[in-house]
Chain A
Amino acid sequence: MADKIRIDVLTLDSVQCAACGYMMESIAAMPQEIQELIEYQEWSIKNKDGIGKFLELKGKVLPTICIERDLVFESIIPQYEELIDEMAQRAPTPAMAEKIRSLRDKGFEFDKIQENLQKAGAGLKTRTDS
């Protein structure tokens, strides 16, 4: 069983498209305790890998946040608590779900967004040849 929650963000391009950018930021701004429990990546449909992921996850619209392969937020930038609830619902263990829910009142943190976005490859693979 995976020890982290997998999040895939299907985008046009998180640099060019503001909605895509803030979808990515909604994950990147989750508090550090959540960052340790998740792994996430941007999939821009400007390249083949992104198109492949869009088809694999049966995406319908851009941007979309997928949690554990479920299309959860389709063209809706989530509220903090909505993200917490949807992650907790899909946590691999009850203990992790409880830990996530315990952070429901914590709120977004903005100090490590750029670092977190970099790790998620945001804006780095948005060319047809990337």
Chain B
Amino acid sequence: MPKQRLIDAYRGKRTDSPPWVPYAGVHCAFLINEPADKMLQDPDLLAKGVVNAAKRYQADGIPLVFDLSVEANSVGCQLKWWPDNVPSVTTHPCSDRTPTQAALQLPTPASGRWPVIFEAARIAKPRLDELDCVMMGLFCGPLTLASHLAGVRIFTDVYKKKEFAHEVIKFAGEIGAVAAQFYAEMGCEIIAIVDPVASQIKPETFREFVATNVQPAIRVIHDAGRTSSFFICGDCTKVLEEVCKLDTHGFAIDEQLNLLFVRDLARKYNKGFGGNLKLTLALSLGLLSPREDAIVSLAAGGTIGYTFAPG
């Protein structure tokens, strides 16, 4: 039961062996010989890419889409598209005004690329079910989305213009709750808040701005009976304990952390944890042996709440 194994691990439970999730992202496009920008805007190709990657890598779970511009784009941010990467956000509608002043509205299923994602989910879900593979819904967390909305000033505003920062990040959290609801409606069994830039702030800032504004989305996920996680990137050592204190079932980290440190903290808080395979050093650059990296990670991660996954 690969699906149940993954859900159990994400909830911090013991599993007979560690489940495996390839966060394939735009690599799904490469595998089907299509440009990333084309796949991400075409529901048939998106479904094809994800299902193909799930089959090829014998995944226990796979994200339907791993693109943190979806939510920003659905409320008006413009994008620059790349053939071999995710799109980047190029405009910040709240760079000089609040979401209210900018007349931003919460997204609907018809906003931005949500119709593409709903349709891709409709196609992919039964195929992933046949593979006993969890379809995961990933959406942009409040601080990263606030950065998309307001630009880099948000990292100054959290100290110098708190009222403005609170308004933008709260709005971003509300958008996240809507996205979580969409993924629940699509049938995603695991729904994750992905907030990479939350590693780039101090713990007290994390508590004040991130911890409070992920709550609406976590409530949506748990009310739908789904499993929740919080994905963070970079060297998040300084905020990892705060991550563990969130109400999500678990969290995921990247390759820059020490997995033994992460494992011990996860167990202390009874959380699921995953990630850390050396995406850059081993899988991309080949500076480390991916095989040895995998063996070391499996030994460190163990079988209580650990998901084997790239970082």
Contact = CB atoms under 8 A, between A and B. Distances in A.
Q: Do A and B come from one complex?
A: yes
Interface of A: 12-19, 21-23, 25-26, 29, 45-46, 51, 61-63, 74-81, 107-108, 110, 113-114, 123, 126-128
Nearest to B202: A76
Nearest to A111: B95
Contacts of B284: 46, 128
Contact of B151 (A81, A108, A123, A127): A108
A78 B88 contact: no
Given A15-B86, A62-B256, A127-B84, A45 B280 contact: yes
A80 B158 CA distance: 12
Contact of A19 (B85, B95, B234): B234
Contact of B280 (A12, A19, A21, A22): A12
B197 A75 contact: no
A13 B85 contact: yes
B132 to A, nearest CB: 30
Interface string B198-211: 01111000000000
A26 B155 contact: yes
B92 A78 contact: no
Given A15-B85, A123-B85, A46 B285 contact: yes
A128 B285 CA distance: 7
B152 A26 contact: yes
Interface string B223-242: 00000000001111000000
A73 B105 CA distance: 35
B97 to A, nearest CB: 12
21 contacts: A15-B85, A15-B86, A16-B85, A16-B86, A17-B196, A18-B147, A19-B197, A21-B88, A22-B200, A45-B280, A46-B280, A51-B285, A75-B199, A75-B236, A76-B200, A77-B200, A78-B155, A81-B160, A107-B156, A108-B156, A127-B84
Interface of B: 68, 80, 82, 84-86, 88, 90, 92, 95-96, 144, 147, 151-153, 155-156, 159-160, 196-197, 199-202, 233-236, 256, 280, 284-285, 287
A24 to B, nearest CB: 9
Contacts of A75: 199-200, 234-236
B197 A22 contact: yes
Top 4 A-B pairs ranked by shortest CB distance? A79-B156, A75-B235, A61-B235, A77-B200
B144 to A, nearest CB: 5
Given A25-B151, A61-B256, A18 B196 contact: yes
A108 B152 contact: yes
B86 A77 contact: no
A13 B196 CA distance: 13
Contact of A81 (B84, B156, B200): B156
Contacts of B92: 110
Contacts of B285: 45-46, 51, 128
B153 A107 contact: yes
A46 to B, nearest CB: 6
B197 A77 contact: yes
Contact of A123 (B82, B159, B160): B82
B152 A22 contact: yes
B232 to A, nearest CB: 10
Contacts of B287: 51
B82 A19 contact: no
A79 B165 CA distance: 13
B196 A19 contact: yes
A29 B236 CA distance: 25
B153 A108 contact: yes
Interface centre among B156, B201, B234, B284 (most CB of A within 10 A): B234
Contacts of B82: 15, 123
